[in-house]
Amino acid sequence: MELFGLWPAKVTFPGGWIQYSFFFYQSGDVKYFYCSTKVYQTYAAEGLANPRMPFADFACTPFFRRELEAAKQRSTASKQVRKEQETRQAKEEHPTGRLCRFCHRPVKQGPNSPHIHTAFPGVAGKYNYCPAKVFSLYQAEGMTREMTWAEFCQSSFYEAEKRRWAVENGK
Ligand SMILES: [Zn+2]
């Protein structure tokens, strides 16, 4: 019988006497809180006679194995739930992979992303248009809001961005 990591959860009653019928048992991942009243209610019909049985005695009964099995299952089940939650969260946060560091939306073009994957005529390489990034670049030069790609193409900033991109891309 493994009893490491075991310590009594002392309960002091008004009269001053200490009730040792509660124990906190831990072995590996399994945490089990022993309450003599609770196990008595569970196993009285099967022959458990003492509602104030000390844990050390209870640990010698066959009922302890069953309690431990149940605790183990609870622990595994809650771990499974936690893992699923984490996986789901990770998926929600990164639905289509990498996020843009300017607008924090997926870099990939799509309904949840304002990005346009395109290219400038005459400039080699793909260009990913991010309205937020372009706005931050040209705000000082008079851009008043984030523009759609179509609007941007008509604007005076298009040529400037094309030149900037040609230089950056050429590096
Ligand atoms: Zn972006």
Tens digit of pLDDT for each residue in 30-70? 788 888 888 988 999 999 988 888 787 888 899 999 998 99
Say whether both 77 and 153 belong to one domain: no
Mean pLDDT of all residues in the chain?
83
| Residue 149 CA, ligand 1 centroid: distance in Å | 12
Question: Of 38 and 25, which is predicted with more confidence?
Answer: 38
* Number of domains observed in the structure of the chain: 2
Say whether both 57 and 124 belong to one domain: no
Say whether both 89 and 158 belong to one domain: no
Say whether both 123 and 48 belong to one domain: no
Last residue of a domain, one of 34, 62, 93: 93
Given a cut of 80, whether residue 11 has pLDDT beyond it is: no
Say whether both 84 and 123 belong to one domain: no
| Residue 111 CA, ligand 1 centroid: distance in Å | 13
126 domain-assigned: yes
98 domain-assigned: no
Residue with tokens 């309450």: 35
| Residue 113 CA, ligand 1 centroid: distance in Å | 8
The predicted pLDDT at position 4 comes to 40
Q: How far apart are CA 18 and CA 54, in angstroms?
A: 12
Q: How far apart are CA 26 and CA 34, in angstroms?
A: 11
Mean pLDDT lowest among 7-21, 73-87, 103-117 = 7-21
Task: List the domain range (segments joined by +) for residue 153.
Answer: 116-170
